[in-house]
Structure 1
Amino acid sequence: MPQSDQFTFGPQICGSLSDDGGGGREWLVADGIGGYATGTVSGLRTRRYHALMTVSGQDSVRHTALAALDLTVTLHSGTKVALFTHEWESGAVDPAGHRFLETFTLADGLPRWRWRIGDVVIERELALRHGYPSLAVVHRVVNAPGPVGLAIAAMCTWRDAHGERHADGPPLNVEPVADGVVVADAYRLAGPGWQPGGGWHLGVHARLEADRGLSATEDLCLAGTFFQQVEPGGQVEISAWAGDLSERPPAASVVIAAERERAHRLVTAAKAEGYAGTLVLAADRFVIRAPDGPDVVAGYPWFGGYLGDTMTAYEGLFLDTGRADEGRELLISRTRMATRAAARTEEPWQRHDSLDSPLWLAHAVDRHVTRTGDSDLAAKLAMPLGRLLRRRLSGSGPLSVDPADELLRLSPPAGHDAGSWMNGWTGDGPVTPRIGKPVEINALWVNALAAMCDLLAEAGIDDGEPRARHARARESFVARFPAPEGWLYDVVEGPAATYPLGAGAHHDDPSLRPNQLLAWSLPHAPMRGHGGAAVRTIGETLLTPLGLRTLAENEYGYQGRHRGGRDDRDMAYHQGTVWPWLIGPYADACAATGRPPEGVLTGLEAHLSEWGVGSVSETADGDAPHRATGCPFSARSVAEVLRVKRGYSL
């Protein structure tokens, strides 16, 4: 295991295409504006998303551009050795360049491959230029008895990152320019010895898309090849960029050096060491600069930005990485945007985001003000946040305040009742409906009322109404949610028939889930001071090395594997699947009930080298050995692991 932010794998991992080898470990670099490069340690493209340059364009729509740079070495003897690997629709793997991989290293967040062909050693290193849609790749001849030829074939496409492109579709425009080519009028490649190509490689297969029940084949255009004879110690530099195609980026080696220096600055600014430094660099991948200010990508390679995910991850991504100023800007812009959206009577809520996102926003603002002492921010956002909560809970949308007890009830229109972060959905409807009064939404509500009281006081505004409402909501929560089983109900006053809504009958659901942790973990949690037996039970039942299960193994409907097609995966999404981000609420709940969260990160630290290298996955199987699933790089997971590590000095 690495002792710092460097991960190195040897030939047994690199030379294997299995899930446990180089075919199942992925790397990621990001450009800071929504684009990214990602692939596997082995070099095999196993996802439709694997590419050396994916560009984020207007409205944050991502397009895959440069799929691969296929390297072939010509030895002094004239022998040609292919160092790249493709899998084809037939099932064949050809060529099998991964067999020559000696090491893969992720250092300072940047990937480096080293191939050995006898006494010839070749390295590839790449980076994305921060703030620009621009790729830099350097190939070095580290050792050789004489000059060798490096041929680097550009395998190109231009498509939506979530789709495929085929040779029998619209033609891909390829225009030659000085030392390279412009593809689809969208991006440019430049390097030495450019030789125009042509034609398509048909039936390139992405095995993980097939496993997910999605289209798994595409065709790639051979736009051309860079070629140069290179002496030992020499190198070939290639650049690719979108945007202003006439403006050349700095040399590839300059970009790579600058990105390494930037990584060092990030870790130094965060005052982080070892694994904490690794997590700081992982967190940086999710923070981007959008046209309207800072934003957060929820997960790579397929997620965009969501208010709920962003605010759940806020503290770890910004306050634990030394980026409070950036975070402040984000909180102001997102509060403004959410308030404007809530004012649109024709669209009082957004289906694509969690209904509890305004409550997480109030929590994030409260944590920022508490940790930084920024009373000016409290004064700026207290009133807009109050208006946002009133509009969201006015009764025109799915959430409303029950005047009988001041708790929140979820009563959405038919077909829109997935509710909070538990938003699994299939063609038959929501998998875990939150109709009624869900424990997590009401814990967030009680917390938000108290947070609003503090923000108003910090802003010098004396308003007794929030304090009275908070006291009543907290009292109702404490009286209503404890279940005879010894933990909290997951939902109270839900329909007797889960879906559709029953005819007036109500049901209290005692399913053992981790949602109730928020009732102890939040700063103004309603159950603080009311004992920790439930938290102990959750630890004994739901805690795994990679986080917490979303349902106890002995509960009806438990699913221990998060695999298969989309409906299969969504059915298991919150029915036992492990979510690493829940380690944050669990650690806080343990501390709140007098049990220091010692040892809870051991498995998660080991996980940094197991799937998304240097990062933390979105989910994992509920059953041992808890194989990672979902997106390999998750903002909430990274943020909460980092927050716990730094907050509890683990």
Structure 2
Amino acid sequence: MATFGSRTCARLDEGATREWLVPDGCGGYAMGTVSGLRTRRYHGLLVVAGANPARRHLGLASLDPVLTLPSGPVRLATHEWADGTIAPRGHELLAGFTLVDGLPRWRWRIGEVVLERELAMVPGRPAVAVVHRLLSGGPVGLALEAIGTWRDGHGERTADGPVPVVQEVAGGVTIEGAYRLRGPGFRRAGAWWRGVRHREEAARGLTETEDLWYAGSFHTELTGPGDTAEVSAWAGDLADEPAPAAAVVEAAHRRNRRFSPLALAADAFVVRTPRGPDVVAGYPWFGAWSRDTMLSYEGLFLTTGRADEGRELLRAYGETLSEGMLANTADTGAAEFNTADGTLWFLHAVDRHVLTTGDTDLAEELRPALLGVIDHHVRGTRYGIGADPADGLLTQGADGEALTWMDARVDGVPITPRRGKAVDVNALWVNALAGFPTYKRLHDMARASFAGRFPSPSGWLHDVVDGPGGDDATLRPNQLLAWSLPNAALRPDPAVLRTIGAALLTPLGLRSQAPGTPGYHGTHRGTPAERDTAYHTGTVWPWLLGPYATAWHRLGVEVTADIDTHLGEYGLGSISETADGDAPHTATGCPFQAWSVAEVLRAAYL
């Protein structure tokens, strides 16, 4: 539970920087801030995923409450406009905000009148339920203004284009034939709200304004404490009305209470698509990435007791292998096989699944495909990925490509290309080969070569050997995989781990590069190019806490993480994608990131 009082809610530099998320289980969500201000183009009460979770559309942007008191109307919403004006200023009337069982709850107080709002999504379908309840005072009038659009989740819609098609139906309206609103006493309006500003998009160097459509409002009288007003919005089959909003909210509380806090955070990323179970890499802008999915697999599926869903996912991914490789992402609408490590994480995920569950049937079913992966990597596959016959190590690289998890590019130029034999890729390679007796000689060669090639004169491991410029001894965290994977290439060295901890460890995770080294960036913010430049050159990554803690665990030392305090700082109840490398390590990137949660959760059960 996360609770914030009136001071935090009323200060937009605090309340509008803390975000909540309620997923629908199929890639869509409701999302916003503690203060109620929409700070991102992605914020809204009904964000609908397509067949691909990355292809989302924003529908209902906000539902603005207006109380009518004897003294006149009081607007409880908060919006920012193109000129920086904040109006109305409903956040200043908030008595508090609480995240209860993962569901957001606001309370506004105007004298003796206290109004509460709570919302939930319907699991497994794009539908949101919003309940307003009078807790004290009354009678009062309540209007709920429906502010919507229908546009790509990554873009904007403006009044320069066509007016949204709104059709009245029983209890409300449909908008663009894409989603429907239901509630009491609907009164149609119809006007553009021009110049709605998103301050986080401005900070990210992106388009900061859009126009929204005021479709109409719902009206009711709350005569005394306990009276409610319920509004639902849903997409998909518009004739299939969801359960009443209050029932949806109560059911969501009952469901979510079954989870521990981190397990509830993990639950947000496991979704069901028309193709079966999948993983959303991060909210609000990522879809499914094979690397993120497989790296997160153990934490999201095995630690949380979801092995049956995981089995289905692994089988489905196995059917997509091409030339021994998984596609990296379908976010762009086309399969891209530009990853040297995603497929190796797939082998790791299958191995962990079989060893944890005893599912030898799956092992036998997938074995030909997995052997095919090794065979293709031995012979060589896309982007120069292949085993060096001289030492058994895996090399990779192609012009203009960044094939490891450090994959940021600016204007098509990789920031950290790591071309050659990367330490993490080869740790995964040695780990994978250990599971195939047919390749024992190759495994023994690669493991011996790893032990001989990667230690550097500085004491830690090279980040890359045999690169275009020779060997790279930049102090990065990628070497942790050499000690943390089940079939580790090396035994952990406490002196090296202490060196890594001293240079890279922060309360939110490990830096991607040591301060003071050439190219280090201590802040991860600004334009897309500025952020991508810093992405893997100093920015902190919480997921790295998993391999760091595992490496120490192998030595009988338990690492105490400070990440718990982060659960109420940025993406409430979850763990962010990244943070600044320099203190105070302000969180950045996606507020809700799958592998951050998965690896911290996995490490908690070592």
TM-score interval (norm. to shorter): over 0.9
Q: Specify which of 519, 532, 540 is matched with residue 557 of structure 1.
A: 519
One-letter code aligned to 1:321: T
The reply to whether residue 177 of structure 1 matches residue 160 of structure 2 is no
State the distance in 2 between where 1:440 and 1:474 align: 13
Secondary structure in 1 aligned to 2:571? coil
Contact 1:339 1:387 in 2 (8 A): no
Instruction: Please state if 1:519 is matched with 2:482.
Output: yes
Please state if 1:400 is matched with 2:386.
yes
Letter in 2 for 1:66: L
Task: Note the 1:147-158 alignment, pairs <5 A.
Answer: 147-158=139-150
Please say if residues 51 and 274 of structure 2, whose CA atoms lie closer than 8 Å, have aligned partners that are also in contact: no
1:468 aligns with 2:441: yes
What is the alpha-carbon distance in structure 1 between the residues aligned to residue 367 and residue 499 of structure 2? Answer: 37
SS for the counterpart of 1:198 is: strand
In the other structure, the counterpart of 1:69 is 63
Structure 2 residue 125 is the aligned partner of structure 1 residue 132: yes
User: What CA RMSD, in Å, does the superposition of the two structures yield over aligned residues?
Assistant: 1.6
1:624 aligned to 2:587?
Answer: no
Deviation at 1:392, TM superposition (A): 5.0
Matched, 1:598 2:583: no
Structure 2 residue runs without a partner (length 5+) = none
Pairwise mapping of residues 9-48 of structure 1 onto structure 2 (< 5 A)?
9-18=4-13, 21-48=14-41
1:165-564 equivalences under 5 Å are 165-232=157-224, 233-265=226-258, 267=259, 277-339=260-322, 342=325, 351=336, 354-392=339-377, 394-398=379-383, 399-412=385-398, 414-416=399-401, 418-427=402-411, 429-450=413-434, 452-453=435-436, 464-496=437-469, 507-528=470-491, 531-564=493-526
> What is the number of residues matched between the two proteins?
598
SS of the residue corresponding to residue 278 of structure 2 reads: strand
Q: State the distance in 1 between where 2:377 and 2:110 align.
A: 63
- Residues 343 and 129 from structure 1, CA distance in 2 versus in 1: closer, same or farther, beyond 3 angstroms? closer
Q: Is the 8 A contact 2:109 2:115 kept in 1?
A: yes
Give the conservation status (yes or no) of the 8 Å contact 1:307–1:353: no
Residue 572 of structure 1 aligns with which residue? 534
Q: Residue type matched to 2:293 in 1?
A: T
Call closer, same or farther: CA 1:58–1:368 in 2, change over 3 Å: closer
CA distance in 2, matches of 1:585, 1:116: 47
- Mapped to 2, the partners of 1:10 and 1:234 lie a distance apart of 24
Distance 1:554 1:404 in 2: 35
Structure 1 residue 393: Cα displacement: 5.2
**Residues 542 and 552 in structure 1, CA contact (< 8 A), matched pair in contact too:** yes
> Whole-Å Cα distance in 2 between the matches of residues 209 and 305 of structure 1?
22
2:552–2:559 contact (8 Å) kept in structure 1: no
Aligned to 1:460: none
With 55-64 and 360-369 compared, the bigger mean Cα shift is at 55-64
CA apart distance, 1:222? 0.3
> In structure 2, what is the equivalent of residue 589 of structure 1?
551
Alignment-mate amino acid for residue 77 of structure 2: F
Q: Per the alignment, in what secondary structure is the counterpart of residue 131 of structure 1? A: coil
- State the alpha-carbon separation in 2 of the partners of residues 352 and 123 from structure 1: 49
> Partner amino acid for 1:523?
P
**Structure 2 CA distance, aligned partners of 1:402 and 1:438?**
13
Q: Is the 8 A contact 2:377 2:387 kept in 1?
A: no
Identity %: 55
2:58 and 2:476 map into 1 onto residues whose CA distance is 39
The corresponding residue for 2:43 is: 50
**CA–CA distance in structure 1, aligned partners of residues 326 and 3 of structure 2:** 51
How big is each residue's C-alpha offset from its partner over 1:158-207, in whole Å with a ceiling of 9 and x where there is no partner?
00000000011122111111110000010000100100011111000000
Find the aligned partners of 1:571 and 1:404 in 2 and give their Cα distance. 35
Structure 1 residue 16, shift from structure 2 partner: 1.0
Instruction: Give, as a single letter, the amino acid of the residue that structure 1 aligns with 2:583.
Output: A
Q: Which runs of 5+ in 1 are unaligned?
A: 1-5, 268-276, 454-463, 497-506
Q: Could you report, residue by residue, the CA deviation over 1:15-70 in whole angstroms, capped at 9, with x for unpaired residues? A: 1100xx11100000100011111000000000000000100123331100000001
Partner SS state of residue 28, structure 1: strand
User: In structure 2, what residue type is equivalent to 1:15?
Assistant: A
Aligned to 1:607: 566
Shift of the alpha carbon at 1:138? 0.4
How far off is 1:352 after superposition?
6.7
How far does residue 390 in structure 1 lie from its aligned partner after superposition?
A: 2.5
CA distance in structure 2 between the partners assigned to 1:350 and 1:469 by the alignment:
30
Task: Compute the TM-score of the two structures, normalised by the length of structure 1.
Answer: 0.90
Distance 1:367 1:176 in 2: 53
CA 1:341–1:71: 2 relative to 1, 3 Å: farther
Quote the Cα distance in structure 1 between the aligned partners of 2:37 and 2:128: 19
Tell me the residue number matched to 1:504.
Answer: none
Kept after mapping to 2: 8 A contact 1:358/1:389 = no
CA-to-partner distance for each residue in 1:54-96, whole Å, 9 max, x for gaps? 0012333110000000111111x14111100000000100110
Residue identity in the other structure for 1:576? G
Cα offset for 1:126?
A: 0.4
Rounded Cα–Cα distance in structure 2 between residues aligned with 1:353 and 1:40: 35
Measure, in 2, the Cα distance between the counterparts of 1:128 and 1:40.
Answer: 16
Provide the rounded CA distance (Å) in 2 between the counterparts of 1:338 and 1:41.
43
1:113-153, CA deviations, whole angstroms, 9 ceiling, x for partnerless residues? Answer: 11111110000000010001111000001111x31011100
Give 1:574 deviation, angstroms: 0.5
Cα deviation, 1:353-374, whole Å, max 9, x if unaligned, reads 6321110001111111112222
Q: Distance in 2 between matches of 1:29 and 1:477?
A: 45
**Cα distance, 1:341 vs. partner?**
8.1
Q: Deviations over 1:315-359 (max 9, x none)?
A: 111111111111111111111223588599xx9x95476321110
The answer to whether the 8 Å contact 2:338/2:403 transfers is: no
Structure 2 distance, partners of 1:390, 1:35, is 38
SS in 1 for 2:429: helix
Aligned to 2:93: 100
Report the Cα distance in structure 1 between the residues aligned to 2:580 and 2:485, rounded to whole angstroms.
Answer: 26
State the alpha-carbon separation in 2 of the partners of residues 231 and 364 from structure 1. 56
**2:106 corresponds to which residue?**
113
Q: Is the 8 A contact 1:112 1:124 kept in 2?
A: yes
Which letter maps to 2:595?
R
